[in-house]
Amino acid sequence: MSLTLAALVGSITVFILAIFLGFELISKVPATLHTPLMSGANAISGITIVGALILSNAEFNGGNPDTAALLAFVALVMATINVVGGFMVTNRMLEMIAGRRRKGGK
């Protein structure tokens, strides 16, 4: 698989547009929806973990499996950190909500 200049420019364009779209989307989300949004982000990171596991068995860069294994390992570690951190934040947010309800607040 060779990366052409047109494919590289297209990929960078999609990446930059995703950054702007993500920023606009997150800034418009009300505070009551942050916990479900975090759960959705955790699900997406879970899909990344599955993709990294599939990639770990693939050949990349002209048949060099070491490059694919390295990229898969890096993706796996980063996605796992994201999932664990996301669940910790979600759990903490839910505990804060549950604590308010126990004390008589809404």
Identify whether 9 is part of a domain.
no
Q: Is the pLDDT of residue 93 over 80?
A: no
Residue 26 lies inside a defined structural domain of this protein: no
Residue 74 lies in a domain: yes
Residue 13 has pLDDT above 90, yes or no: yes
Residue 42 lies in a domain: yes
Q: How confident is the model at residue 62 (pLDDT cuts 50, 70, 90)?
A: low
Q: Does any domain span residue 90? A: yes
The number of domains in the chain is 1
pTM score over 0.75: no
Residue 61 covered by a domain: yes
Q: What is the pLDDT of residues 51-60, one digit of tens each?
A: 878 777 766 6
Confidence of residue 17 (pLDDT cuts 50, 70, 90): very high
Angle between helices 34-55 and 65-102 (to 10 degrees): 160
Q: How many other CB atoms are there within 10 angstroms of residue 52's CB atom?
A: 19
SS3 78: helix
Range of the domain at 68: 32-102
Q: Is residue 48 part of a domain?
A: yes
Confirm whether 1 is domain-assigned.
no
